[in-house]
Amino acid sequence: YGGSLDNRQRFAMEVLSRVKETVDPFPVGYRFLADEWLPDGLQLKESIQFAKSLAQAGIAYISVMGGTYESFSLPEIVEKYKQEGYMLNLAAEIRAEVNVPIIAAGRLDTGAFADQAISEGKTDLIGLARVLWADPQWPKKVYDGRHADIIHCNPDCGDACMQMVMKGHPAFCVRWPPEKMKAWKAKFV
């Protein structure tokens, strides 16, 4: 399974084939690492070819992300992580090369930014993880135009939620209001 790109993508393609067989007719998507952001790691050029293979195999969508546990601690990636839409360019590059819906991720934390990303054709859908962790009501608040009421993920918090998960503990968000934090503590502490 190692060596050439064909060999390195073989395992994923075999798994995809079996999953599609098993769950047919349900659509099957793929969470896709487009760039490891490491000098000797997976780069976008190779990932584009892999995305094309996924599209040819009939994938329903590709959810694009960048970075690994090893790269997230690099100073330049720490700074990149603080920027809104820091993975959007990866999604846009993949979207330009395949004809399947693309989901962008990476701090797309305002409705206006998400809408712009879609309207500019950089992505088809928006993936929300930490955005929803910080504020599960984000979609409703955006829909209702209550942008000032949104609790935003703070990239300067030291990544508390991920640190808790990495230590095997239930995650929390340092931005949660006191009543939610109190309920979390009552349940887990």
Please write the tens of the pLDDT for every residue from 14-37. Answer: 999 999 999 999 999 999 999 999
Q: What is the pTM of this model?
A: 0.90
Q: What's the CA gap between 125 and 117, in Å, rounded?
A: 9
Q: What's the CA gap between 20 and 134, in Å, rounded?
A: 33
The average pLDDT across 132-153 equals 94
Nearest by Cα to 76 from 106, 127, 39: 39
The average pLDDT across 67-96 equals 93
Residue 64 and residue 32 in contact, taking contact as beta carbons nearer than 8 Å: yes
Residue 47 and residue 76 in contact, taking contact as beta carbons nearer than 8 Å: no
**7 CB neighbour count, 10 Å cutoff:** 10
- Which alpha helices (DSSP H) does 57-110 contain, by range? 75-81, 88-95
The average pLDDT across 140-160 equals 91
Q: Is the pLDDT of residue 161 over 90?
A: no
The residues that bridge with 62 in the sheet, in sequence order, are 30, 102
Give the pLDDT band of residue 160 (cuts 50, 70, 90): confident
Q: What is the mean pLDDT of the chain?
A: 93
